[in-house]
Each structure stands twice: as C-alpha cells, then as structure tokens.
Amino acid sequence: MVTCPDCGTSNDDTARFCDNCGRRMDDVKAEAAAPAPTRPVDQPNPDADLGGGPIADDGLPVGEDLDGVPGGERIIWQGRPSKLWSPRMSITNRYKLTNQRLMFEFGFIGRTTEEIDLYRVTDVGVKQHPLERITGMGDIYVASGDASAPVKYLHNVAGPEHVKDLIREASRQERQRRRVMLREEF
C-alpha cells in the first residue's frame, strides 16, 4: 500500500494515480523505494548533543518533561555538589536546569527551593582552584537581575565548563523565546 502525501488515502501499490484526489503516485513510489540516506561514520550526528543525547528543535538537549505540554518546560541538566569536596552539601543541595529556569533546592528534612528565570540571567562564570581543576570540579556563579539573590553559586559541580555553557545557551534561547533584551544589548 502507498499513502498519498496530499490527502492521506491508502492506494494499491500498482496505482498510478490516487483514488481520492487524483495525484500522480510515481514520485511517491520512487521515494518509498529509495534507500534512506546514511550519514558517514566520520561526521557527527546533527541530532545529538555533545554528550550523545538527542536535541530538540530549539537546539537544547531533550530531558524529562516537567509540565506535560509539548514544547513546554523540560530538564536539561541536574546535579549536586561533589561528595569528595563537600559531603554535607552533596546530601542537602540539588541543582536543576530547565529550558526556562534554574532551580536550587536546599535542605535535608526541611526543604527550601529558589529559582532564577533564565531570561533574567546576565552573566555566568566558573571559579576553580588548582585541586578542583585536577579533579574536574568547580563553582559556577550565576549573576541575574533577581532582586532577592543577584548572584547565586552552584558549588563543587562536576564538569563546570559544560554546565556553564548549558546555562548560558539556555538563557540566551529563553531570552529569544520571550523576546527580552538586556539593557546592555541596546
């Protein structure tokens, strides 16, 4: 059976024209018979991020969907401080980056959650001392226009440069999505 791309009607394989709309079916049969294009082994997959996972249409890695809405909020990255450098903080602190906000959760028994909307992020940076550079850990600071906490830190995060780039790119895309410009960009 060959499906007409114009009207969606299933037609017999030998049909030259669609039974419903009359469209020629020669090109549809040729496309169905042609092998799928293959990507050379030495070229990277354009549908994968640097970590090997799939990416969405907006260029961000696809993660767990938070709100159940197609194209809605989804988790890009989640982490916690290193057990090596700060055992207590690794139990009590959690960080989540979605395509719309950066969330900080603090506490073991009681829980405090703070959020920064990504369109408010103005600067992101990494701070590492020599031992953290050796072990691949570091602190990420996020400067924002949030009045309650203008600078927040993600302490002792593994792969801080990668996480910093994820935050930076997600904030840039969220500003584009909301059509928000920073005062510096004028």
pLDDT tens for residues 112-158?
Answer: 999 999 999 999 999 999 999 999 999 999 999 888 889 999 999 99
DSSP 136-160: TEEEEEEEES-SS-SEEEEEEEESH
Give how many domains the chain has, as a whole number: 1
The answer to whether residue 28 is domain-embedded is: no
The answer to whether residue 167 is domain-embedded is: yes
Is the pLDDT confidence value at 166 over 80?
A: yes
Q: What pLDDT, in 10s, does the model give residues 33-89?
A: 655 555 454 444 444 444 444 455 455 445 777 776 767 788 899 999 998 888 889
CA atoms of 68 and 88, how far apart (whole Å): 34
The answer to whether residue 151 is domain-embedded is: yes
CATH number, domain with residue 140? 2.30.29.30
The answer to whether residue 32 is domain-embedded is: no
- The whole domain housing 79 covers 75-185
- Token couple for 146: 């949030």
The answer to whether residue 2 is domain-embedded is: no
Q: What is the pTM of this model?
A: 0.64
The answer to whether residue 61 is domain-embedded is: no
Sheet bearing 101-106, strands edge to edge: 75-79, 93-98, 101-106, 112-117
